[in-house]
């Protein structure tokens, strides 16, 4: 079973199927996007999107190619990457894996199509042979 880790903080996350994640995102995001947050100018309503990405044996060159080919074309306005360490428990085996990881964070327009977010997570899992990618989206007030 493929799954995503959902929730904050990371160590309290639970594993759920990608379909239920997308359904939950759509159910939560649709009403929120219908009534934007009230933000104080110059800030405006936006989405804060975070991906929790295990590094496995991925090289830095492969990571840079992934950003250039998969992330930047979908979200050209900018991103932030945090180099981290993390752990994840495989629900099938109950084995805890600890590895170097990255958090990819982007502040994007509130009306961003969430299929672009899901495509990045799915592509990362396939390309870097990861069983899970943590995805968090939340509405925020932001300005740049």
The DSSP-derived string for 31-85 is HHHHS-----TT-EEEEEEEEEEE-TT--HHHHHHHIIIIITTT-TT--EEEEEE
pTM passes above 0.85: no
At residue 8 the predicted structure's pLDDT band, cuts being 50, 70 and 90, is very low
CATH number of 4-142: 3.30.70.120
d(CA 126, CA 39): 38
The Cβ of residue 105 has, within 10 Å, a number of other Cβ atoms equal to 14
| pLDDT tens profile 22-79 | 555 555 555 555 566 899 999 999 999 999 999 988 899 999 999 999 999 999 999 9
Residue 5 has pLDDT above 90, yes or no: no
| pLDDT tens profile 99-117 | 999 999 999 999 999 999 9
d(CA 118, CA 70): 11
In the predicted model, what is the mean pLDDT of residues 4-14?
44
Residue ranges of domains in the chain: 4-142
Among the listed residues 110, 108, 105, 61, the one whose alpha carbon sits nearest the alpha carbon of residue 82 = 105
Three-class secondary structure of residue 95 per DSSP: coil
């Amino acid at each position: 079973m493929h799954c995503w880790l959902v929730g904050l903080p990371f160590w309290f996350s639970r594993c759920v199927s990608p379909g239920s994640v997308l359904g939950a995102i759509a159910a939560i995001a649709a009403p929120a996007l219908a009534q934007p947050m009230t933000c104080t100018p110059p800030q405006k309503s936006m989405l804060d999107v975070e991906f929790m990405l295990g590094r496995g044996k991925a090289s830095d060159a492969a990571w840079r190619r992934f950003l250039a080919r998969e992330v930047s074309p979908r979200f050209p306005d900018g991103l932030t990457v945090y180099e981290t360490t993390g752990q994840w428990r495989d629900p099938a085996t109950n084995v805890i894996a600890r590895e170097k990881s990255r958090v990819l964070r982007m502040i994007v327009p509130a009306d961003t199509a969430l299929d672009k977010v899901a495509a990045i997570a799915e592509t990362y899992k396939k390309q870097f042979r990861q069983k899970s990618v943590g995805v968090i989206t939340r509405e925020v007030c932001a300005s740049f």
